[in-house]
Structure 1
Amino acid sequence: MVDSLGDSLDRALEGAFTRPAPKSAQAQMKYLVKQLKGTKAAAQALGISQRTVERYVVGKLKRPRRELRERIEREVKKRWQPQVRAKARKKAATTGGLVVSTRARFGFTAAPGTTDDARIRDITQALPPAYADQLFTAREQGATERQLQQIAADGLAQMYFRANNTRAHGLGVEFTDVERIDIEL
């Protein structure tokens, strides 16, 4: 399965965590109950019964099935260390930018009547803070994977293919068939 750009953004922020998230199902469930202010809200967030949540909290249930374990981990990571996550996001969006490393198909359209056929390329490129801000803001507002890819394509077009707009003016870049994408802050 190919990673999504959104998941890669989330993982980049998780790299800023100063403490590890809870590991056991019981500790994770206790954390979710505390964060969501009750077993009923935790149950709704996970799509399970309130009684099942209570059993994990007291330790009667210990090993959730794979699908539930992944949902629990995702919900915990989404809420873990919000200030640290916000600080890392703000730094990337104002001063640091981010680095996109991808293997994908890139094609071009340039002056009228000219085109360069798409081909698979491996690219690692630093993007300025403005693109980091656009990506994080779009992610928070529920942008689709295609919309996130378009923002990344615009950033790669400007910084990699047009050398920060010093050459190849008007070059349009298509970013498709993503095989791998990783983002670092």
Structure 2
Amino acid sequence: MTTTRTFKTAKQNIYRNLVLRTARLALDDDEDLDRPESEYPFDDGYELFAAGLAIGFLNENRNEESRGNYSQDFIEIDNISNDEYREAINFVWELVKIRHDDVDETEAWEYARQYADAGVDKINREMEYRGEFDMIGLLSIFEGEWDETLEKLLQEEKLEEAEIDTL
């Protein structure tokens, strides 16, 4: 069974503060942006979701308070038109499924949303602290984390396969 992976967030206020398109959607027709477009580091919510998912996953940090507090469905992940964002989300999604192989896909996708919300919180805190978004600087914090995380997850996967083979 394949679960429907819908992009949702409990952090809509942060998306409105960091994503230009989300900020524009929140405006009434006669309102104008109260800050320059250059102060919105993300073009769309999918870009922020993908970044938040990667950061939350690497931190092994889930925002469990998000459950049940999501805003409306935006779009199914497979229907995101930007290949880079969709592929980044799908890549981390595969890692989430490996890390949480003890739950079904629906629950694993819930965890992915929670990782994304935790990562979005971290990005927002960095923005508030620095006054600008420095993706390179933020990712440098995780230098080497991808390799270690992938190695750890793949090792666990191999161990589980070996255990199954011995049964």
TM-score bucket of the superposed structures, by smaller chain: under 0.3
Greater per-residue helix proportion: 2
Which structure's CA Rg is the greater one? 1
Q: Per chain length, whose mean CA-contact separation is higher, i.e. which structure has more relative contact order (CA < 8 Å, sep 6+)?
A: 2
TM-score computed with the length of structure 2 as normaliser: 0.27
TM-score computed with the length of structure 1 as normaliser: 0.25
Greater per-residue strand proportion: 1
